């Protein structure tokens, strides 16, 4: 459920151009990040949505036994240049997956661009059951759907909450405090 | 009347949601509306689809595919009218705050279980985006309230990795000292509450007594017993007070003696062993697949400790052992924690020896305000001081993920900076939040009375679970 929200914030550089651009990005493969975004000594891999599942599956067979973290970022109001590698088209959302290899003590960070119009990515649940709660959290707070997740429901917010609070166009301090089943404002 | 109409509104919105979302059948809408938890609830078997059912049974581990199906095949078919779904929590004394676990029981045996969380959610990740990097540590320190210094540490390390500043040696050693002391206080607190959960109230009192000693030291150093805001980007807030060595030595001398007392009280105690041995078993494969970290993973026999395997601070310069268990049951998790306290004492003794003299925070003027004395004589220093505390310092654009070993497992911080003085996105990977997922496989097949022991052995801190 993606609640309709009024855009209180101006669209930044990532306008909603036609769908053909997006299709182009899907064709592109995997790109390694330029070293400037690589602020710590881990491998950062940018991947298109179409190859996302394949790349994670390949990483798993490469020896990344654990998915230590999964989160989403909303780049709606990001002022600085995104600094993505060639072939990766910036989109509003990004899903960031942190894989961990226990045998080689290495981390790999996989970043996927997720368009605003269609915020869906395949679920990693089949590969790493441990992402169950993390994907639910990303769905709850950022409104990204995970295709194939067994139980994609809100996890932290109340079930009847509207909107996804971590989105950048979700106002802070502009929403009256909601208590569950409290009578509405008089 | 108004109540009735509000209820039916909710029903209709819920059913709509379902029709567009998934195809599985649900119990009567009135049943859902009654609770206001909606789809987070656990439902009878007939209205739960297979993949979700397997998840709740704890058989989602398709890593060894054969093993998972074997679990399913061995499953005795239970019909809905023979089982009962009950709530444990959120106001249950053994749930360490506001954890709610829904359990399907067949007699006294737990078949499925589902943790329902979110009762303590205060939107700390969102708050973190509104606070400057200087203020941010006050926010994160309130997440895991039993190991606040570890939270501050991971936040500061993330900011520093984006800033690229060098931290003075003494500041790093102080950070190590404080986070190890915090590990001791957190583990002792866990021993206390675990004892309480299992009926050993004397353990509760002893545990709090020892923790008090460490909190008193924290108060001396940081000014506060909890939520210190002591470790900050750029170093620590203040140097250690005079005579800190004696205090730390006293802690190092007292804690191991008290641990021996705990050993007598609990480790060798037949009732305690009965209640924990073989209870809440979690295999290494399951722990890895469920991303469990910390004492849970180590109790299952995986020697993974970030302090050893991916060292941060100066952990590569001190000697300590990574404690692992064999069976992965509640007793192993207890044993891992109590022995980790001993290892922490070992580390602290080495820190005492190695503590160098020097600065306690970086001299980088971008991050550190000028000293008080300079403010009186220089207008620029005053402006500089004012700027840092009102506007904060700017952090170059970029993104980073930093992880440390908190008492509960891998505590990570994913931070995106956009070049301003506030983080663009601050995500905390809470070990308790992730570790809670291993609850269903641990509870499965056990007795409902053991659920208390199992929940306690996961050591969830709800402040961090819900953030």
Q: What percent of chain B has pLDDT over 90?
A: 27
Search chain A and give the residue with CA nearest B434: A133
Q: Report d(CA B376, CA A163) in Å as an integer.
A: 50
CA distance B263 to chain A (A): 32
What gap in Å lies between CA A136 and CA A157, rounded to an integer? 11
% of chain B beyond a pLDDT of 70: 85
Cross-chain Cβ contact A159/B40 below 8 Å: yes
Residue A28 to residue A21: CA distance in whole angstroms: 11
Partner-chain residue, chosen from B13, B36, B403, that has the shortest CB–CB distance to A180: B36
What integer is the mean pLDDT of B221-245? Answer: 90
Provide the pLDDT confidence category of residue A35 given band limits of 50, 70 and 90. Answer: very low
Q: Please check the confidence at residue A10 and state whether its pLDDT lies above 50.
A: no
pLDDT > 90? residue A30: no
Number of Cβ atoms within 10 Å of the Cβ of B130: 14
Cβ-Cβ contacts under 8 Å, A1 against chain B: 17, 20-21
Task: Write the residue in A68, A83, A166 that is nearest to B291 by C-beta.
Answer: A68
Contact list, B398 vs chain A (CB under 8 Å): 36-37, 39
Instruction: Name B71's bridge partners.
Output: none
Task: Report pLDDT digits (tens) over B136-165.
Answer: 889 999 988 899 999 999 999 999 999 888
pLDDT tier, B248 (very low <50, low <70, confident <90, very high otherwise): very high
Residue B17 tokens read as: 């949601």
Residue B214 pLDDT level (bands cut at 50, 70, 90): very high
Domain ranges of chain A: 19-78+86-129
Q: How far apart are the first and last CA of chain A?
A: 28
DSSP characters over A94-163: EEEEEEEETTTTEEEEEEEEE-SSS-EEE--TTT-GGGHHHHHHHHHHH--EEET-TT---SSS-TT--S
Binary contact (A128, B37; C-beta < 8 A): no
Calpha distance B177→B170 (Å, rounded): 10
Position B47 pLDDT exceeds 90:
no
For the domain spanning A19-78+86-129, the CATH number is: 3.30.460.80
- Give the mean model confidence (pLDDT) for residues A120-148: 89
* Contact residues on chain A for B49, CB-CB shorter than 8 A: 150
Confidence of residue A176 (pLDDT cuts 50, 70, 90): low
3-state DSSP helix/strand/coil percent for chain A, to nearest 5?
20, 25, 60
Mutate to test the interface with B, among A155, A165, A169, A184 (most CBs of B within 10 A): A155
Q: What number does CATH give the domain B124-429?
A: 1.10.645.10
Phi, psi of B342, deg, nearest 5: -60, -40
**CB–CB of B434 and A133 under 8 A?**
yes
CB burial readout B171-195, b (16+ within 10 A) else e: bbbbbbbbbbbbbbbbbbbbbbbbb
| A146 CA: distance to closest CA in chain B (Å) | 11
Structure tokens at B428: 């905390």
Q: What is the pLDDT of residues A80-93, one digit of tens each?
A: 788 888 778 888 89
Instruction: With CB atoms and an 8 Å threshold, state whether A165 touches B126.
Output: yes
CA atoms within 13 A on the CB side of B359: 11
Taking the C-alpha atoms of residue B410 and residue B312, their distance in angstroms, rounded to an integer, is 12
> pLDDT at position B185, please?
93
Q: Is the pLDDT of residue B8 over 50?
A: no
Decide if pLDDT at B38 tops 70.
Answer: no
> How far does the CA of residue A117 sit from the closest CA of chain B (Å)?
17
Interface test with A, best of B39, B71, B291 (most A CBs within 10 A): B291
Sign of CA dihedral B94, B100, B103, B107: positive
How would residue B411 be classed by pLDDT, with cut points 50, 70 and 90?
A: very high
How far apart (Å, rounded) are the C-alpha atoms in residues B166 and B163?
A: 9
Closest partner residue to A150 among B17, B51, B403, by Cβ? B51
**Given an 8 Å threshold on Cβ–Cβ distance, is B420 in contact with A39?**
no
DSSP state at residue A45: E
The pLDDT of residue B432 is above 80: yes
Chain A residues with CB-CB distance to B424 below 8 A: 73, 78
* B102-B198-B289 Cα angle (round to 5): 50
Mean pLDDT of A117-133: 88
Cβ–Cβ pairs < 8 A, chains A and B: 143
CA-based nearest residue in chain A for residue B164? A39
pLDDT digits (tens, 9 = 90+) for B376-400: 888 888 888 888 888 888 899 988 9
| B164 contacts on A by Cβ (under 8 Å) | 39
Task: Write down the pLDDT at residue A155.
Answer: 87
Share of chain A above pLDDT 90, in %: 14
- ipTM of this predicted structure: 0.79
Average pLDDT over residues B75-103: 74
Q: Using a CB-CB distance cutoff of 8 angstroms, which residues of chain A are in contact with residue B310?
A: 105, 107
The sign of the dihedral angle between the CA atoms of B281, B283, B284, B286 is negative
Q: Please tell me the predicted confidence (pLDDT) of residue B10.
A: 43
Q: Which residues contact B35 (CB under 8 A, 6 or more apart)?
A: B41
Average pLDDT of span B170-194: 92
Q: What is the pLDDT of residue B282?
A: 87
The whole-angstrom separation of Cα B195 and Cα B193 is: 5
């Amino acid at each position: 459920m993606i609640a309709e929200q009024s855009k209180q914030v101006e669209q930044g550089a990532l306008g909603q151009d036609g769908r053909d651009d997006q299709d182009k990005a899907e064709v592109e493969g995997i790109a390694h990040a330029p070293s400037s975004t690589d602020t710590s000594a881990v491998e950062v891999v940018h991947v298109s949505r179409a190859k996302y599942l394949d790349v994670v599956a390949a990483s798993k067979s490469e020896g990344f036994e654990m998915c230590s973290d999964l989160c989403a970022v909303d780049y709606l109001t990001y002022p600085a240049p995104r600094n993505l590698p060639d072939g990766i088209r910036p989109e509003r959302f990004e899903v960031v997956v942190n894989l961990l290899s226990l045998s080689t003590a290495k981390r790999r960070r996989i970043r996927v661009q997720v368009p605003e119009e269609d915020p869906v990515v395949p679920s990693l649940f089949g590969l790493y059951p441990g992402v169950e709660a993390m994907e639910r959290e990303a769905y709850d707070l950022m409104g990204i759907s995970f295709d194939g997740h067994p139980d994609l429901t809100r996890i932290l917010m109340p079930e009847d909450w509207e909107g996804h609070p971590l989105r950048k166009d979700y106002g802070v301090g502009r929403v009256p405090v909601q208590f569950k089943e409290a009578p509405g404002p008089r | 009347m108004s109540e009735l109409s509000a209820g039916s509104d909710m029903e209709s919105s819920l059913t709509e949601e379902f029709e567009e979302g998934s195809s599985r059948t649900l119990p009567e809408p009135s049943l859902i509306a009654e609770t206001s938890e909606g789809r987070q609830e656990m439902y009878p078997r007939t209205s739960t689809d297979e993949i979700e059912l397997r998840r709740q049974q704890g058989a989602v581990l398709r890593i060894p595919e054969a093993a998972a199906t074997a679990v399913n095949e061995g499953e005795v078919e239970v019909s809905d009218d023979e089982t009962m779904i009950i709530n444990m929590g959120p106001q249950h004394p053994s749930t360490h705050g506001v954890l709610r676990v829904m359990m399907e029981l067949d007699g006294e045996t737990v078949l499925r279980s589902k943790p329902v969380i979110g009762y303590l959610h205060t939107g700390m990740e969102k708050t973190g985006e509104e606070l400057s990097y200087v203020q941010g540590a006050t926010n994160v320190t309130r997440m895991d309230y039993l190991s606040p210094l570890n939270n501050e540490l991971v936040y500061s390390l993330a900011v520093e990795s984006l800033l690229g500043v060098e931290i003075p040696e003494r500041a790093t050693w102080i950070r190590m000292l404080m986070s190890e002391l915090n590990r001791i206080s957190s583990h002792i607190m866990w021993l206390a509450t675990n004892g309480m959960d299992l009926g050993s109230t004397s353990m509760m009192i002893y545990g709090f007594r020892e923790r008090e000693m460490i909190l008193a030291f924290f108060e001396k150093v940081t000014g506060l017993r909890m939520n210190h805001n002591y470790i900050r980007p750029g170093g620590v807030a203040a140097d250690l007070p005079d005579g800190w060595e004696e205090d730390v030595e006293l802690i190092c001398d007292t804690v191991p003696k008290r641990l021996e007392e705990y050993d007598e009280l609990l480790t060798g105690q037949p009732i305690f062993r009965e209640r924990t041995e073989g209870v809440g078993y979690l295999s290494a494969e399951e722990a890895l697949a469920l991303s469990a970290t910390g004492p849970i993973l180590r109790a299952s026999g995986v020697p993974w400790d970030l302090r050893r395997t991916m060292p941060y601070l100066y952990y590569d310069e001190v000697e300590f052992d990574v404690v692992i268990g064999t069976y992965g049951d509640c007793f192993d998790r207890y044993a891992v924690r109590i022995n980790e306290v001993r290892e922490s004492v070992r580390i602290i003794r080495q820190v005492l020896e190695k503590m160098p003299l020097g600065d306690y925070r970086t001299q980088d003027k971008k991050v550190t305000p000028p000293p008080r004395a300079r403010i009186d004589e220089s207008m620029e220093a005053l402006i500089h001081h004012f700027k840092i505390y009102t506007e904060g310092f700017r952090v170059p654009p970029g993104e980073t993920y930093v992880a440390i070993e908190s008492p509960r497992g891998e505590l990570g911080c994913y931070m995106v900076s956009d070049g301003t003085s506030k983080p663009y996105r601050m995500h905390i990977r809470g070990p308790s939040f992730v570790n809670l997922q291993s609850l269903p496989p641990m509870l499965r097949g056990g007795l409902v009375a053991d659920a208390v022991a199992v929940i306690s052995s996961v050591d969830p801190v709800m402040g961090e679970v819900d953030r």
